């Protein structure tokens, strides 16, 4: 029996890390969609995943918001996409349970009060270690060693060994591809010429910038004294960002080799099906790279794409990169979209605005003479797509937007996407009726 959300049919699609789909679920979706006469499929892709039950609750709540904006006569079905990624257990799980909305239009960030959180222990909890090893089984030996080092003394030798193990972990688990912002196979933080003490201290400094509170006594000079006071927390954060880097790369593989071909297959069976893609965080990269996996068939079944705090490069669709010769990895792929691409972003997303660029930042860039030294490594979800045709503030439900086919519309959601604790900030503050309206309006589903 077909599942339902808000009275509309709901299906699941499951992909492995290589983008291979559960073909039985694909067949069920195709057969039941046709039998029910569904003309429009809204496919939502998570970025984090603490198990299918949690992801399904995310979809239930978000599709509930979307359903309120859909025209009663529209034959719309919902699809929740599941792929192997992992939110660390010591990060707050996004609030997927309905909570009362503030009548003042925002949380602490909107009111100018930065949330804070204690730094906690730098040790790697057994449950977190098990989660990481389940997602990156080829890196289990390195992860075990990293866990031992994080539980040891904060010395320079410890820092050197941790850095070596992070590089070894990347080598053992590396997959996927970048978006055009880098030319090396590894993130800039793993540059072999970096000083491990300086690197981990920088990560600790950025944790403090997001509102993580350390015990008194740690300065920001970057020396061994700072590493002793909080550097292991910085090393743990470096591991977290490396794991997210790998999952971001995996997201592109799932989109290109998995979701794109599945959509093409559904469209080949019925040229009338209309697909609308929504991606949160790494899921934004999944749905963007689905364009790259559609093949060469004439016309496109994808009628809209909406990115919610997209965790990938804002230069991915750029035809001429501003910092080196070349193009973004998805340059020209908007030709495969028969509708608009909406990019919703927020300055309160510290996961993307603070931590994301630091993971990419190479040693040689430290002295870069630029107004924004992280310019090259900015994300869709913190700054919007580079050189979009239009950039507007996010409006309320019912707002009219200048959507155009095969064009990017940046929507600054900083007045709405505001809530979240350090270090991620508002990265997962996506349960907003204003965001659901964007999806409905962009797809002509109202």
Same domain, 326 and 234: no
pLDDT at 223: 60
Beta strands in 20-173 (DSSP E): 40-45, 76-82, 117-118
Distance of CA 391 to the CA centre of its chain: 21
d(Cα 63, Cα 431) in Å, to the nearest integer?
A: 10
Length of the chain in residues, anyone? 446
Same domain, 159 and 229: yes
Structural domain span for residue 148? 117-247
339: left (phi over 0), alpha (psi -120 to 50) or beta: left
pLDDT at 369: 47
**167-194 b/e with 16+ CB inside 10 Å = b?**
bebbeebeebebbbbbeeebbbbbbeeb
The two three-digit tokens of residue 257, written as one number: 């080799």
Same domain, 56 and 144: no
pLDDT at 86: 83
Same domain, 432 and 292: yes
d(Cα 156, Cα 383) in Å, to the nearest integer?
A: 36
Which residue among 212, 247, 282 closes a domain?
247
pLDDT at 52: 81
Same domain, 349 and 280: yes
User: In this structure, what CATH number is given to the domain that contains residue 424?
Assistant: 3.40.50
* 8 Å CB contact between 301 and 269: no
* 8 Å CB contact between 312 and 385: no
Residues of the chain with pLDDT below 70 are 50, 92-113, 216-225, 270-271, 363-370
The two three-digit tokens of residue 8, written as one number: 């509309």
**Does any domain span residue 97?**
no
- 383: CB partners within 8 A, 6+ apart: 314, 345, 353
Same domain, 162 and 276: no
**Does any domain span residue 109?**
no
DSSP string, 398-412: T------TT-EEEEE
pLDDT at 334: 97
* 8 Å CB contact between 313 and 379: yes
Same domain, 140 and 272: no
**Does any domain span residue 98?**
no
**Does any domain span residue 56?**
yes
Share of the chain above pLDDT 90, in %: 76
pLDDT at 101: 41
Same domain, 201 and 254: no
Same domain, 311 and 181: no
Same domain, 409 and 289: yes
Nearest to 84 by CA among 144, 138, 141, 14: 14
The two three-digit tokens of residue 108, written as one number: 């602490």
Handedness of CA 60, 66, 72, 77 (dihedral sign): negative
pLDDT at 136: 93
Between the CA of residue 26 and those of 21, 249, 408, 429, what are the distances in Å? 7, 24, 29, 30
Which residue among 247, 280, 304 closes a domain?
247
Same domain, 301 and 351: yes
**Does any domain span residue 372?**
yes
pLDDT at 105: 46
DSSP 68: T
389: left (phi over 0), alpha (psi -120 to 50) or beta: alpha
**Does any domain span residue 66?**
yes
**Does any domain span residue 112?**
no
* 8 Å CB contact between 10 and 63: yes
Beta strands in 292-389 (DSSP E): 302-308, 341-345
Which residue among 206, 229, 247 closes a domain?
247
Backbone angles phi, psi at 217, to 5 degrees: 120, -10
pLDDT at 98: 57
**Does any domain span residue 108?**
no
DSSP 259: I
- The number of distinct structural domains making up the chain is 2
> Model's pTM, two decimal places?
0.93
Same domain, 323 and 429: yes
């Amino acid at each position: 029996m077909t599942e339902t959300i808000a009275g509309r049919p709901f299906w699941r699609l499951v992909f492995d890390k290589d983008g291979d789909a559960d073909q039985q679920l694909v067949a069920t979706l195709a057969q039941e969609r046709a039998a029910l006469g569904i003309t429009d499929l809204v496919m939502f892709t998570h970025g984090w995943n603490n198990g299918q039950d949690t992801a399904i609750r995310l979809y239930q709540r978000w599709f509930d918001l979307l359903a309120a904006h859909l025209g009663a006569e529209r034959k719309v079905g919902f699809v929740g996409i599941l792929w192997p990624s992992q939110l660390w257990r010591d990060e707050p799980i996004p609030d997927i349970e309905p909570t009362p909305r503030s009548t003042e239009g925002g949380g602490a960030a909107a009111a100018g009060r930065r949330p804070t959180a204690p730094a906690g222990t730098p040790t790697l909890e057994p449950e977190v270690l098990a989660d990481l090893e389940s997602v990156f089984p080829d890196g289990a030996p390195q992860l075990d060693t990293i866990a031992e080092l994080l539980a040891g003394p904060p010395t320079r030798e410890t820092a050197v060994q941790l850095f070596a193990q992070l590089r070894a972990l990347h080598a053992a688990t590396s997959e996927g591809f970048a978006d055009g912002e880098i030319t090396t196979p590894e993130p800039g933080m793993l540059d072999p010429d970096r000083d491990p003490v300086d690197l981990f201290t920088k990560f600790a400094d950025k944790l403090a910038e997001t509102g993580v509170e350390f015990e008194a006594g740690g300065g920001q000079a970057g020396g061994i004294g700072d590493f002793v006071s909080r550097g292991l927390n910085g090393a743990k954060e470096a591991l977290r960002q490396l794991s997210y880097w790998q999952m971001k790369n995996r997201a592109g593989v799932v989109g290109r080799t998995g979701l794109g071909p599945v959509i093409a297959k559904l469209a080949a069976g019925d040229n009338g099906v209309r697909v609308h893609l929504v991606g949160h965080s790494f899921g934004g990269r999944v749905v963007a790279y689905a364009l790259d996996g559609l093949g060469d068939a004439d016309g496109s079944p994808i009628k809209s794409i909406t990115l919610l705090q997209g965790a990938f490069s804002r230069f991915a669709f750029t035809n001429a990169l501003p910092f080196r010769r070349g193009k973004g990895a998805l340059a020209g792929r908007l030709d495969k979209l028969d509708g608009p691409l909406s990019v919703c972003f927020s300055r309160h997303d510290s996961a993307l605005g603070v931590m994301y660029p630091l993971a990419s930042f190479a040693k040689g860039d430290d002295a870069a003479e630029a107004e924004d030294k992280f310019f090259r490594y900015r994300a869709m979800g913190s700054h919007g797509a580079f050189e979009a045709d239009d950039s507007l503030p996010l409006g309320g439900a019912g707002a009219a937007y200048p959507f155009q086919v095969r064009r990017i519309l940046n929507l600054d959601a900083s007045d709405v996407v505001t809530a979240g604790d350090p270090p991620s900030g508002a990265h997962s503050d996506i349960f907003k009726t204003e965001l659901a309206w964007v999806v409905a309006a962009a797809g002509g589903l109202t």
